[in-house]
Chains A and B, each alone.
Chain A
């Protein structure tokens, strides 16, 4: 077995026993990246030289018996919208193609303290806007299970890299499903923490009230480990919750007896693929077998979530992306005679069509005369959706839904139909609207050999419940025996 095939907790164990070195692990990943990334195209940039240098340092320190973190010397892939001091942070946009971050994101600071090694920066939909990674300004990423299909998005590079063993784990960001949906489409585990659990400082903002950083991993245990490393209050982010970092692996108990799981019927109805629906019902049955109670419930207001999402997310994005004006950094047009030309042409040339679409939409809903009808109303509905979830969580520990209404779709299938692309988020978006934690866990392959994922949703800051239930499922099933086939890719 190659080193790149192991999970992080397995690698950590081997490191501790001194069976392997960090240098060997790191080199194994770069070897794998060289073999596979030509086809997958998950990485926007790699940091091989720095990574190997750092790995050697850590091996030396370990040899000298210095006190190191449990995961010191383990590499990671980072979605290209998180700042690492001195490296390019492009957001897969022409606008930031040559932007070198002058500071570290808080999650990077935390990982630095643990001596984690960076393999490189991972592809995404431009500024995290999209559900297929096709909106990357640089190139499309392929799904390892079928290279003609999308890996999902926006954290498609992160999910594809983990699924194809080009990273043992990765960080993604999730605004409306951008961690969970690609994780589902690529057959890996993706966790979107409660809004405020992980600091957003250094994450290039798409929609500030919805964005959350989270782990994309091979299994639930790694997810719990990575969450433990990156969470906790940050004074640089006033929206981060006043909660200390904790060890989420303690929640990994193989037992769901007595847990109450609700299945909102709206998420098994219209628009959900038949095979996906069946898979979810099988998961429900499995939970029942393992001792949980399953009950159908309803989240009627959930149907407004997508509308609310596109109003709020676009409104915030239209303002957040104003700073990309060609003045201080980023792309500047060569074609200008005056200040207005600089603004208009830099932004017209620097942003891709989906980003522009959302900026225009967001600008519109905030405009005077429309604010009350759109933005203000969306905020009211947002509160109603939150309250509906609160009510459900009075009754249930968890909610079970599909992560994505379909399995991975073909490249080009939806990229020219934005509305259809937006519907790919229907199962994940309500969770961001309400600020809840959600996890996507792979459960089976569909008839075409494509992964299906289920989503568990918990009340705010109940990540432990979420992880425990996901872990129990994983321990009692065997999805990880399936490996991506890397088929297709000839057209």
Chain B
């Protein structure tokens, strides 16, 4: 059999830190960083006798996430204890949700190469994050930092509907985009606020049964997720092709070697002894509560796409691209207020902005300038103050040293030459220096005009107004 006879099946558990101001069960700040053990109190340090009090914002945010991903919302839900020992888990149990999650049976739609695909969500539940262990490099021990202990998380569990690493990439991007739109999480993967456990199995195409799956825990970058899935699928297919059997196990992805390693197998699987947390009362949500949250949902991508096509005459491709990220979309809306040129703005986002981010391996939330700045850039082109070529250089500069475009242009002396006298002078010089081209043009070789314009641009370091140059050359050549 060949590799093409196999199908990869992937299911994801995405953990997302909610951006509430305080932790899920106490009033400590959720802020990232800080000296170890400075964002904690007797409650999140699990001092004897302390009790948790559920932060209502966490429920609100989770319900928001559920509504934005087409989930049903449970009116009756509860918190459960997941018991296990680890030094970063001070209570020796994590308060999570076991059999009655807040949200269930939802879906998100992703774009695949040729079509759209619905990825079903099994559930979304709330839980607390654990602390962090800092291992001493010199082997003097490990240090427990509980700043993150008790930071609220939602876990979004998908059905095994994903069929390639590419789909997984689109799925996570879509989730991230939705969560950013509804402002329940900053989704900063580099700070670990979006992490995924990835379940991978393979099966022969056409098979109804799932293969045995392996799980890779705590993946926190798009690139490693894609690489890990591709590697793991290959590994599993190799085993099957060689007559082997896949073992159900938890794996660790090593980004440096590009391989997965076994952490523990099924026999070592922990028994978490889930049971309802007796310290917390059941979560009961009224219809009214849920409807009120629904009303606060911002405009989501699907609706924005329609509006951009209808109101701004963007192509479907452009509308989808611009709305894929809240940061793009908000930048777009801000920019067009400034320049009133939606097509140009969307083109800038799709081409140069995206290209630079990609080159720098950054995400749209890391764009260092505002939509207003981008709008100004476009209007400077429209007004003829700078050429498109110069604008590209200005944009590069905006990424490096965030500053308003007009200031950059001024500082660099990149203002376009639109003075008729100055342009005429350059045109005359170029004509004089290139008699052969003049002769060619007059002999009917239109291409020669382009060469002459290029020479004039070169002489002005790209600052000459290209329309005026064209016009003036034509006039002179007619003489």
Find out whether the CB atom of B279 lies under 8 angstroms from the CB atom of A238: yes
Instruction: Judge if A82 is at the interface, Cβ distance under 8 Å.
Output: yes
Instruction: Judge if A236 is at the interface, Cβ distance under 8 Å.
Output: yes
CB-contact partner of A235 in B42, B53, B81, under 8 A:
B53
Instruction: Judge if B48 is at the interface, Cβ distance under 8 Å.
Output: yes
Find out whether the CB atom of A339 lies under 8 angstroms from the CB atom of B87: yes
Find out whether the CB atom of B81 lies under 8 angstroms from the CB atom of A201: no
Chain B 239-275, CB within 8 Å of chain A: the 1/0 string? 0000000000000000000000000000000010111
Chain A 192-230, CB within 8 Å of chain B: the 1/0 string? 000000001111110111000000000000000000000
CB-nearest residue of chain A to B84: A322
CB-nearest residue of chain B to A82: B49
In the bound complex, CA of A101 to CA of B42 (Å): 9
Find out whether the CB atom of A239 lies under 8 angstroms from the CB atom of B93: no
CB-contact partner of A319 in B49, B53, B54, B273, under 8 A:
B273
Task: List A contacts of B85 (CB < 8 A).
Answer: 322, 325, 343
- Taking the closest CB of chain A, its distance from the CB of B347, in whole angstroms, is 54
Find out whether the CB atom of B271 lies under 8 angstroms from the CB atom of A367: yes
Find out whether the CB atom of A205 lies under 8 angstroms from the CB atom of B49: yes
Instruction: Judge if B92 is at the interface, Cβ distance under 8 Å.
Output: yes
Find out whether the CB atom of A328 lies under 8 angstroms from the CB atom of B271: no
Find out whether the CB atom of A323 lies under 8 angstroms from the CB atom of B48: yes
CB-nearest residue of chain A to B277: A208
- Taking the closest CB of chain A, its distance from the CB of B271, in whole angstroms, is 5
- Residues 50 to 85 of chain A near chain B (Cβ within 8 Å): 81-83
In the bound complex, CA of A208 to CA of B279 (Å): 6
Find out whether the CB atom of B279 lies under 8 angstroms from the CB atom of A323: no
Find out whether the CB atom of A375 lies under 8 angstroms from the CB atom of B275: yes
Find out whether the CB atom of B51 lies under 8 angstroms from the CB atom of A200: yes
CB-nearest residue of chain A to B26: A236
Instruction: Judge if A21 is at the interface, Cβ distance under 8 Å.
Output: no
- Taking the closest CB of chain A, its distance from the CB of B100, in whole angstroms, is 14
Task: List B contacts of A142 (CB < 8 A).
Answer: none
Q: A319-B93, A322-B85 are in contact. Are A238 and B53 (CB under 8 A)?
A: yes
Chain B 79-113, CB within 8 Å of chain A: the 1/0 string? 00101010100111100000000000000000000
In the bound complex, CA of A387 to CA of B93 (Å): 32
Task: List A contacts of B273 (CB < 8 A).
Answer: 318-319, 363, 366-368, 371
Task: List B contacts of A202 (CB < 8 A).
Answer: 49-50
CB-contact partner of B48 in A99, A207, A325, A343, under 8 A:
A99
Task: List B contacts of A122 (CB < 8 A).
Answer: none
Instruction: Judge if A6 is at the interface, Cβ distance under 8 Å.
Output: no
In the bound complex, CA of A322 to CA of B279 (Å): 15
Task: List B contacts of A325 (CB < 8 A).
Answer: 85, 87, 92
CB-nearest residue of chain A to B93: A319
- Taking the closest CB of chain A, its distance from the CB of B256, in whole angstroms, is 25
CB-nearest residue of chain A to B25: A238
Instruction: Judge if A245 is at the interface, Cβ distance under 8 Å.
Output: no
Find out whether the CB atom of A322 lies under 8 angstroms from the CB atom of B144: no
Task: List B contacts of A99 (CB < 8 A).
Answer: 48
In the bound complex, CA of A491 to CA of B161 (Å): 75
Task: List A contacts of B83 (CB < 8 A).
Answer: 318-319, 322, 366
Task: List B contacts of A235 (CB < 8 A).
Answer: 53
- Residues 82 to 135 of chain A near chain B (Cβ within 8 Å): 82-83, 89, 91, 96, 99, 101-103, 105
Task: List A contacts of B280 (CB < 8 A).
Answer: 238-239
Task: List A contacts of B52 (CB < 8 A).
Answer: 238
CB-nearest residue of chain A to B280: A238
- Taking the closest CB of chain B, its distance from the CB of A283, in whole angstroms, is 34
Interface of A is mostly: loop
Find out whether the CB atom of A322 lies under 8 angstroms from the CB atom of B91: yes
Q: Size class of A's contact patch?
A: 35 or more
Task: List A contacts of B42 (CB < 8 A).
Answer: 102-103
- Residues 368 to 403 of chain A near chain B (Cβ within 8 Å): 368, 371, 375
Instruction: Judge if B390 is at the interface, Cβ distance under 8 Å.
Output: no
Q: A209-B278, A238-B281, A366-B273 are in contact. Are A328 and B49 (CB under 8 A)?
A: no
Chain B 426-457, CB within 8 Å of chain A: the 1/0 string? 00000000000000000000000000000000
Instruction: Judge if B322 is at the interface, Cβ distance under 8 Å.
Output: no
- Residues 336 to 370 of chain A near chain B (Cβ within 8 Å): 339, 343, 363, 366-368
- Taking the closest CB of chain A, its distance from the CB of B285, in whole angstroms, is 16
Task: List B contacts of A89 (CB < 8 A).
Answer: 48-49
Task: List B contacts of A237 (CB < 8 A).
Answer: 51, 53
Instruction: Judge if A315 is at the interface, Cβ distance under 8 Å.
Output: yes
CB-nearest residue of chain B to A344: B85
Instruction: Judge if B46 is at the interface, Cβ distance under 8 Å.
Output: yes
Task: List B contacts of A339 (CB < 8 A).
Answer: 87
Find out whether the CB atom of B49 lies under 8 angstroms from the CB atom of A329: no
CB-nearest residue of chain B to A315: B275
In the bound complex, CA of A235 to CA of B55 (Å): 12
Find out whether the CB atom of A201 lies under 8 angstroms from the CB atom of B45: no
Find out whether the CB atom of A328 lies under 8 angstroms from the CB atom of B90: yes
Find out whether the CB atom of B54 lies under 8 angstroms from the CB atom of A101: no
Find out whether the CB atom of B51 lies under 8 angstroms from the CB atom of A322: no
Q: A203-B49, A238-B54 are in contact. Are A327 and B275 (CB under 8 A)?
A: no
- Taking the closest CB of chain A, its distance from the CB of B154, in whole angstroms, is 21
Task: List B contacts of A328 (CB < 8 A).
Answer: 45-46, 90, 144
- Taking the closest CB of chain B, its distance from the CB of A411, in whole angstroms, is 28
Find out whether the CB atom of A239 lies under 8 angstroms from the CB atom of B92: no
Q: Please indicate which of the listed interface residues B51, B90, B92, B274 has the most CB atoms of chain A within 10 Å of its own CB.
A: B51
Task: List B contacts of A201 (CB < 8 A).
Answer: 49-51
Instruction: Judge if B297 is at the interface, Cβ distance under 8 Å.
Output: no
Instruction: Judge if A316 is at the interface, Cβ distance under 8 Å.
Output: yes
Find out whether the CB atom of A323 lies under 8 angstroms from the CB atom of B92: yes
- Taking the closest CB of chain A, its distance from the CB of B54, in whole angstroms, is 7
- Taking the closest CB of chain B, its distance from the CB of A325, in whole angstroms, is 6
Find out whether the CB atom of B48 lies under 8 angstroms from the CB atom of A204: yes
Instruction: Judge if B477 is at the interface, Cβ distance under 8 Å.
Output: no
Instruction: Judge if B47 is at the interface, Cβ distance under 8 Å.
Output: yes
Task: List B contacts of A371 (CB < 8 A).
Answer: 273-275
Find out whether the CB atom of A238 lies under 8 angstroms from the CB atom of B92: no
In the bound complex, CA of A324 to CA of B87 (Å): 11
Task: List B contacts of A367 (CB < 8 A).
Answer: 271, 273
Q: A208-B278, A323-B46, A325-B85 are in contact. Are A236 and B93 (CB under 8 A)?
A: no
Task: List A contacts of B51 (CB < 8 A).
Answer: 200-201, 236-239
CB-nearest residue of chain A to B48: A204
8 A-B pairs, CB-CB below 8 angstroms? A81-B49, A89-B48, A207-B278, A236-B51, A319-B92, A323-B91, A328-B90, A343-B85
Which A residues are closer than 8 A to B by beta carbons? 81-83, 89, 91, 96, 99, 101-103, 105, 200-205, 207-209, 235-239, 315-316, 318-319, 322-325, 327-329, 339, 343, 363, 366-368, 371, 375
List 12 extra interface pairs beyond A236-B51, A325-B85, A339-B87, CB under 8 A. A83-B47, A99-B48, A103-B47, A105-B49, A208-B279, A238-B51, A319-B93, A323-B91, A327-B144, A328-B90, A366-B83, A375-B275
Which B residues are closer than 8 A to A by beta carbons? 42, 45-54, 81, 83, 85, 87, 90-93, 144, 271, 273-275, 278-281
3 nearest A-B pairs in the assembled complex, by CB-CB distance: A322-B92, A209-B278, A366-B273
